[in-house]
Amino acid sequence: LTQLFRPLDMLGMVYRNIRQGLIDMAAMFKLLDTPQEVADAPAAPALVIRRPSVTFDNVVFGYDPDRTILHGLSLDIPAGHKVAIVGPSGAGKSTIARLLFRFYDPQAGRILIDGQDIREVTQTSLRSAIGIVPQDSVLFNDTIGYNIAYGRDGTSDEQVESAARGAALMGLIERLPQRFATEVGERGLKLSGGEKQRVAIARTLVKNPPILLLDEATSALDTRTEQDILATLHALAEHRTTISIAHRLSTIADADTIFVLELGRLAEQGTHAELLRRDGLYAEMWARQANEQAELGVAAE
């Protein structure tokens, strides 16, 4: 991480909230070794969001020129919709998230947010518009209050507390000897995976981004914690455009649209019910997961 962020620090042009976004993104998509390949266009304006729609328009992308990963992908996500991107391992789900965050530029096609090509706006404004809740959030060796407010300077105590409440963290905080002033992280109180994720949710509530990118792989958590976290994530998603990268289908069945990717192409799209009726790739993935869960003795949803 240090290697990735040191040059940015030296340039002194990256605000803390952007760095937090990058850190969460790095944690989410293991981007530690990704070089910064994109630059702002000269005199690029800030992204201005009135209605946070997201459009992938015929996007062609490969990490290496000789291997195309996304083959002319088009996704249309209206403002305020909750969508999920599913598909077999290697289909390109995380790649879509990396492109939306502009870690890379497409070789052809465009990505638009509220009608603006993300290549033509500042990365600072782009990244502060997108909130991320990684599964394994990075905590700083500081107080829990600092960890929640991180990402936005000048956050008041009331805002921190309200975010903690929204993220169902108050139960934990009330039990801590110094409440919000309790040190957490490597040298302080160790938080569980679920608690760390709630801190990330609280941080995102403070940031209040119009677009949310969720990694819904909650496999590390027990079922009860998972249900709690999902309920909190749903509260977070309200009034925002939400894109979930889903590994477990049971968590996204209520999405407005499910995009089913296969080898970098959109194989199917629709609601859960529509896709089941279609009896294609999604229905097959759903049946397989239901079987796996039954074998594990977990009630399939």
**Could you list the residues that contact ligand ATP (CB under 6 A)?**
63, 69, 87, 89-95
To ligand ATP, the closest distance from the beta carbon of 266 in angstroms equals 13
Q: Select 92 or 210, whichever has its Cβ closest to ligand ATP.
A: 92
Please enumerate in sequence order all residues whose Cβ is within 8 A of that of 107, keeping only pairs 6 or more positions apart, or say none.
Answer: 60, 61, 62, 65, 68
DSSP string for 113-175: ETTEEGGGS-HHHHHHTEEEE-SS----SEEHHHHHHTTSTT--HHHHHHHHHHTT-HHHHHH
Q: Select 95 or 143, whichever has its Cβ closest to ligand ATP.
A: 95
To ligand ATP, the closest distance from the beta carbon of 202 in angstroms equals 26
Q: Select 95 or 251, whichever has its Cβ closest to ligand ATP.
A: 95
To ligand ATP, the closest distance from the beta carbon of 184 in angstroms equals 28
What are the residue ranges of helices labelled H in 182-280?
193-207, 223-237, 272-278
Beta bridge partners of 261: 266
For 20-53, b/e burial (b = at least 16 CB within 10 A) is: bbbbbbbbbbebeebeeeeebeeebeebebeebb
To ligand ATP, the closest distance from the beta carbon of 248 in angstroms equals 11
Q: Select 91 or 184, whichever has its Cβ closest to ligand ATP.
A: 91
Let me know: does 219 contact 247? Beta carbons within 8 Å: yes
To ligand ATP, the closest distance from the beta carbon of 103 in angstroms equals 9
Instruction: List the Cα angle 260/138/52 in 5-degree steps.
Output: 45
DSSP 22: H
To ligand ATP, the closest distance from the beta carbon of 171 in angstroms equals 32
Q: Select 91 or 252, whichever has its Cβ closest to ligand ATP.
A: 91
Q: Select 45 or 90, whichever has its Cβ closest to ligand ATP.
A: 90
